Chains A and B, each alone.
Chain A
Amino acid sequence: MIPEIGHLVLYFALALAVVQSVVPLVGAHKNSTEWMVLARPLANWQGVFVALALACLTASFVRNDFSVLYVASNSNSELPMFYRVAAVWGGHEGSMLLWVMMISVWTMAVGRYSQRLPLPFLARILAVMGMISVGFLLFMLLTSNPFDRLLPAAADGRDLNPLLQDPGMIIHPPMLYMGYVGFSVAFAFAVAALLGGNLDAAWARWTRPWTTAAWVFLTFGIGLGSWWAYNELGWGGWWFWDPVENASFMPWLVGTALIHSLAVSEKRGGFKAWTVLLALMAFSLSLLGAFLVRSGVLSSVHAFAVDPSRGMFILVFLVIVIGSSLTLFAWRAPKIGLGQRFGVFSRESLLLVNNMMLAVATAAVLLGTLYPLFLDALGMGKISVGPPYFDAVFALLMAPLVVVMGIGPLTRWKNDNPGALFKRLRSALVVSLLAALAMGAWAGKITLATTGGLWMAFWIVASLTVDLKGRLLPAGGQANQMLNRAKQITLATWGMMAAHLGVAVFSFGVAMVMTFDVERDVKMGVGDSTEISGFTFKMTELKEVQGPNYVAMQGRFEITEQGKPVATVFPQKRIYRVQSNPMTESGVHSNALRDLYVSMGEQLPTGEWIVRVQHKPFIVWIWGGCLMMMAGGVLAMSDRRYRVKQGARATTGSGTEATA
């Protein structure tokens, strides 16, 4: 009965979504308040029904109802309860349901927190969100129903993919989907504003916190995925330029560009056509990502079960959503004003560089990801594009971005004097270069890539310091006023600084890991030891351990440095009973300066194991940097000017406020 209820309420949700996407829109056109005010309750009821469906699916998992095909394919009676709940989104159908739930959550949040918006604008936004909901609900009901029955019922389930049986993996997809779907809010704002012709500074101001919120989730989701891959896949890498990683990275890059161009649109009324285009693109790329993951057009480690009818449906949906929004853009954008003029050297021009670099980077990732598909479709052979392409292209594009990241926040809107600015930043430039060289010399290797990467990190920190000093202790200012001045700095500015500092921390981690990590594959039995980077790894025990649904060989490795014990780690090689594929649980000892990483590979016929030991300096800084970027986003969207009632005031903004 429960699955049938779940299936039924999805139809209710679909019906409400259809009404939600039509009635408020017509109401906005006819200027009928009664029709427009329907948008919010419709969205809320739709959310209730989708939540009910999700609860039904969860109940089926909890009750081990293997007469539901999706449960039988993704769960098992031995699966711990914790993972049984997480298995709800462990496969294609359930993750679509989660996706739809998140659209509802965002829609309800917009309805709840945007009541100050003009009613026609809000009605249009909710209608557009409703249309997106219709698309995904239809997709689920027509091609991917999670409630399909399996009759007769399976005796037991095929179990959750062992790769997903990890705490990090449980929250990785929901965070990622919150990010993807979150960009639908910026998308809906953009489409509604194009329809209503109200692309103004107020539109930009209203869009900003939503965009930042989605970006924060996406940053968290991507960072978590990377951290998980590092711990679970067993070869110690943290980013693979896999098509599906790229699919999540492209909306992130465009979202980052959007956050920055929204600043110009809000403060100076500029870049509006471009900002709208970015808002459309961020969500379009999220949809493209869904297509790439779920249609099987690219081979990837993140394969969902492939079904051509699903691919076709998403493609048609993509064409409708993206095609119609870009058509609307082509029709309405020529009427958008240009905003205020700005000089060759101004904050606007530097933000323009930022946007160009991020857009080019997105294009480079898109090209690299789809290039194999293009060639294959043209019958020109099969190739794969790998990390060497992405690493090289990316490093080249990030360098100018980081240069302007240091300069931009110190630059005035409209027009600034490059000479005076150079004077302010001269010391930062020198200090950061020297620090990068010194760091390389200390670690024992000075190369262009390392020095470049380290310089980026130090340059950001140094220029931030100059910026902060200028704000706290301006020329002729008094030291005892510093606290008061600090209080005047807006949360948005603190957020910007935190996020930029996060980029510095991230770059530092990447540069150190890429240059100085040491890895070694060795054959080891109990009693053997190996040494890298001054650490001795000794295998002291090897035993079989039983998990709830797996058996594992667990090694015990004692790590010492010059005879002093440092850590003991317990890497495992697990075999999950039902799906019987081996999984690597690496043993990692982390601190702020380095990770010691042990993973077990294959067992040799002699009984010894191939063991990979690695020393990874500063690798946690990579994820630390992501967390700081997130924290920056949270600070920026908590800025009080998004909460106090503000009309279309301050379209010109004050030149000193820095929230780029």
Chain B
Amino acid sequence: MIRYLIPLAAFLVLAVFLGLGLKLDPREVPSPLIDKPAPAFTAALLSQPEKRVTRDDLLGKTWILNVWASWCAPCRDEHPLWVDYARRSPVPIYGLNYKDKVPAAQTWLKQLGDPYAASLSDPDGRIGIDYGVYGVPETFIIDAKGVVRFKHVGPITPEVLRDKIEPLLKRLQG
């Protein structure tokens, strides 16, 4: 009798989903900023505090925003990837130096290499709030019209760079 098989069938479907679930990360939260204009900001440059950069200065080209801090251990893990990437890609990477001390941040860049076209200072984390930063490092891709196209929370890996960031940048550039 078929109807006595229904519980088994329902359970097997459930089990498939549970198996798929093991591969997913429920803590990965999409940003509400995706496909929305990047929040405006005015920030001092880390290297030249008297110089200011605004969001609108960066319109007209696709760019990467990488939130980092010298106190952030995972940032250290992903940093070599950015240094390497900056060498082989024309897309500018802007750092957002988040809740950090200027001397510590500058020493960090000196020691580990500076992949950034420029680093913007966000000492009190105000820009971070607008961008919904809740874990450092975080990475955003913002297109020529100033629209957020991608966000990654946590350190990037070679896989994320290869499978997500690079294809997206190719599309945005092409």
Contacts and interface: CB of A to CB of B under 8 A. Distances in A.
Nearest to A319: B15
Interface string B17-47: 1111110101111100000000000000000
A312 B15 CA distance: 11
Interface in A263-322: 273, 277, 280-281, 284, 291, 295-299, 308, 311-312, 315, 318-319, 322
B26 A298 contact: yes
Contact of B22 (A280, A315, A381): A315
A379 to B, nearest CB: 10
A326 interface: yes
A418 interface: no
B30 A381 contact: yes
Nearest to B24: A376
Contacts of A296: 26
Interface string A323-347: 1001101100110000000000000
B126 to A, nearest CB: 16
A574 B1 CA distance: 61
Most buried by B among A311, A330, A372: A330
Contacts of B11: 284, 322-323, 326
A326 to B, nearest CB: 4
Nearest to A295: B22
Given A323-B12, A326-B11, A377-B17, A297 B4 contact: no
Interface residues of A, number: 33
A422 interface: no
A370 interface: yes
Most buried by A among B12, B18, B30: B18
A374 interface: yes
Contact of A308 (B7, B22, B28): B22
A291 to B, nearest CB: 7
A312 B21 CA distance: 10
Given A382-B28, A382-B30, A373 B17 contact: yes
A559 B27 CA distance: 41
Contact of B17 (A280, A311, A370): A370
B129 interface: no
Given A291-B18, A373-B21, A334 B26 contact: no
A315 B28 CA distance: 22
B26 A376 contact: yes
A299 B26 CA distance: 6
Nearest to A273: B4
Contacts of A280: 7
Contacts of A322: 11, 15
Contacts of B12: 319, 323
B5 A330 contact: yes
Given A297-B21, A315-B15, A330 B7 contact: yes
A295 B5 CA distance: 28
A295 B8 CA distance: 22
Contacts of A376: 21, 24, 26
Contacts of B15: 315, 318-319, 322-323
B151 to A, nearest CB: 13
A327 B8 contact: yes
A658 B102 CA distance: 78
A312 B22 CA distance: 7
B14 to A, nearest CB: 8
Per DSSP, are chain B's interface residues mostly helix, strand or loop, or mixed?
Answer: helix
Contacts of B30: 381-382
A186 to B, nearest CB: 16
Contacts of B26: 296-299, 372-373, 376, 382
Nearest to B19: A315
A356 to B, nearest CB: 15
A373 B13 CA distance: 13
Contacts of B22: 295, 297, 308, 311-312, 315
A297 B24 contact: yes
Given A318-B15, A372-B26, A326 B21 contact: no
Interface string A353-385: 000000000000000001011101100011000
Interface string A531-543: 0000000000000
Contacts of A315: 15, 18-19, 22
Nearest to B21: A297
B154 to A, nearest CB: 15
Contacts of A291: 18
A157 B8 CA distance: 46
Nearest to A336: B4
Contacts of A334: 1, 4
Interface string A512-542: 0000000000000000000000000000000
Contacts of B7: 277, 280-281, 326, 329-330
Nearest to A381: B30
B21 to A, nearest CB: 4
Contacts of A374: 17
Contacts of B18: 291, 295, 297, 315, 318, 373
B1 A373 contact: no
6 contacts: A315-B19, A322-B11, A322-B15, A330-B7, A334-B4, A373-B21
Top 10 A-B pairs, shortest CB-CB distance: A297-B21, A377-B20, A326-B8, A299-B26, A330-B4, A334-B1, A330-B5, A373-B21, A311-B22, A333-B4
Given A284-B11, A322-B15, 8 more contacts: A295-B21, A315-B18, A318-B15, A326-B11, A329-B8, A372-B26, A382-B26, A382-B29
